């Protein structure tokens, strides 16, 4: 009788082990499929991009930050389109056309609302005698909202910035559009700027 009890328990243990193994094997392809889906989604909607190739002439910069809603909550999936001139002050050649900017890129804020991109520091326009400060154009589009332009990135050390512009930007605190760049250990200049999605502004500046 004792031996039969042991045989039954052994048989149950064996069946349980087989079932666990079978479930694990069945779940593995699903898990791998999910991982592939996540990887594909991340590749299609990256939160970090390189706008300028490594061989692009110019001073390398890296800009990053977080995008928030009006309540201060980080926003996921905000589309950011960026474009700027090259190190000689041209968007394109032979005609300098910002709508055909050679240096451009698109990214989406991640689950924490964060974004980052690497590029070269743009130059002042190369085809005008009195150009505006150097800048990087930005369009933002929150999920379900309109594509709209916001104040460009400007750089604090630019001699073409007016004192009033610097003061106005500093009053914006973390949302200032004029940023300072600090050198990192690898020689890349780094800056931070946060954004706040404002529905009224988005509607007014939609493109």
> Got the DSSP string for 24-52?
HHHHHHHHHHHHHHHHHHHHHS-SEEESS
Q: Are the beta carbons of 148 and 139 closer than 8 angstroms?
A: yes
CATH architecture for the domain at 48-204: Sandwich (2.60)
Q: Are strands 189-192 and 195-196 parallel, antiparallel or unpaired?
A: unpaired
Give the pLDDT band (50/70/90) at residue 43: confident
Percent of the chain with pLDDT over 70: 80
Averaged pLDDT, 158-170: 96
Burial of residue 88, with CB atoms counted within 10 A of its CB: 0-12 exposed, 13-18 middle, 19 or more buried:
middle
Q: Is 4 helix (H, G, I), strand (E, B) or coil?
A: helix
pLDDT of residue 157: 95
The answer for residues whose C-beta is within 8 angstroms of residue 140's C-beta and 6 or more apart is: 67, 78, 79, 80, 147, 148, 149, 150, 195, 197, 202
Reported pTM: 0.81
Q: How far is CA 152 from CA 18, 22, 85, 175, in A?
A: 61, 56, 13, 12
What are the start-end ranges of the E strands in the chain? Answer: 48-50, 60-68, 79-84, 103-108, 114-120, 135-141, 148-155, 178-179, 182-183, 189-192, 195-196
Per residue in 79-100, pLDDT tens? 999 999 999 999 999 999 999 9
Q: What's the whole-number average pLDDT of the chain?
A: 88
pLDDT level of residue 21 (50, 70, 90 thresholds)? very low
> Who's near 149: CB < 8 A, 6+ residues apart?
137, 138, 139, 140, 205, 207
- Provide CB contacts within 8 A for 126, sequence distance 6+: 85, 88, 89, 90, 96
Predicted pLDDT at 100? 97
Q: Which residue has the higher pLDDT, 13 or 112?
A: 112
């Amino acid at each position: 009788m004792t031996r039969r009890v042991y045989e039954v328990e052994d048989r149950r243990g064996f069946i349980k082990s087989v079932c666990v193994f079978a479930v694990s094997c069945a779940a593995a392809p699903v898990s791998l499929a999910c991982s592939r889906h996540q990887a594909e989604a991340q590749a299609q909607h990256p939160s970090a991009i390189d706008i300028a190739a490594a061989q692009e002439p110019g001073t390398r910069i890296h800009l990053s930050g977080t995008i928030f809603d009006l309540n201060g909550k980080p926003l996921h999936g905000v589309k950011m389109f960026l474009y700027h001139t090259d190190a000689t002050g041209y968007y394109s050649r032979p005609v300098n056309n910002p709508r055909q900017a050679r240096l451009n890129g698109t990214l989406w804020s991640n689950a924490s609302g964060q974004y980052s991109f690497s590029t070269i520091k743009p130059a002042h326009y190369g085809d005008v005698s009195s150009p505006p400060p150097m800048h990087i154009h930005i369009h933002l589009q929150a999920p379900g909202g309109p594509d709209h332009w916001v104040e460009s990135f400007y750089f604090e050390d630019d001699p073409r910035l007016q004192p009033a512009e610097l003061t106005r930007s500093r009053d914006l605190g973390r949302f200032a559009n004029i940023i300072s760049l600090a050198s990192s250990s690898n020689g890349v200049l780094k800056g931070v700027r946060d954004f706040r999605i404002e529905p009224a502004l988005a509607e007014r500046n939609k493109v």
